[in-house]
Amino acid sequence: KQEVTQIPAALSVPEGENLVLNCSFTDSAIYNLQWFRQDPGKGLTSLLLIQSSQREQTSGRLNASLDKSSGRSTLYIAASQPGDSATYLCAAVDDKIIFGKGTRLHILP
């Protein structure tokens, strides 16, 4: 049974810092790994999708990596901004889609 864990559960960093969010999964037989952000009271917005054959994806200040052999994905946010404050969730995609509980990120102005 797939389990997805995100560490840390919460993170506060000063504006401008680079940061890394971690996602680990127990079953490496995944199809995709998808990262989302969720603002309070809102739905989930897709940030990056990494297919199982890929190692990383980049979009603007965001870079996501995938290491299936170790069951890990990381989301790197460069030059953080207060607008990046949100909850970030990862999802392991196979026949089922299993979400982690998320990392609540707060960027301090």
Between 42 and 61, name the residue whose CB sits nearer to other proteins: 42
Smallest distance, other proteins to C-beta of residue 72, A: 19
Q: Is residue 26 a contact residue for other proteins (CB under 8 A)? A: no
User: Please, what's the largest Cα pairwise distance for the chain?
Assistant: 41
Question: What is the Cα–Cα distance from 93 to 31, expressed in whole angstroms?
Answer: 5
Pairing mode, strands 86-93 and 62-67 = unpaired
Q: Residue 109 carries which DSSP code?
A: -
What residues between 34 and 53 interact with other proteins by CB under 8 A?
Answer: 34, 36, 41-46, 49
Smallest distance, other proteins to C-beta of residue 39, A: 10
Smallest distance, other proteins to C-beta of residue 58, A: 16
Q: Is residue 101 a contact residue for other proteins (CB under 8 A)? A: yes
β-bridge partners, 7 = 22
Between 15 and 56, name the residue whose CB sits nearer to other proteins: 56
Report the Cα 101 to chain-centroid distance in Å.
11
Question: What is the Cα–Cα distance from 70 to 50, expressed in whole angstroms?
Answer: 15
Smallest distance, other proteins to C-beta of residue 18, A: 26
Question: What is the Cα–Cα distance from 49 to 91, expressed in whole angstroms?
Answer: 10
Q: By CB under 8 A, how many residues form the interface with other proteins? A: 21
Q: Is residue 91 a contact residue for other proteins (CB under 8 A)? A: yes
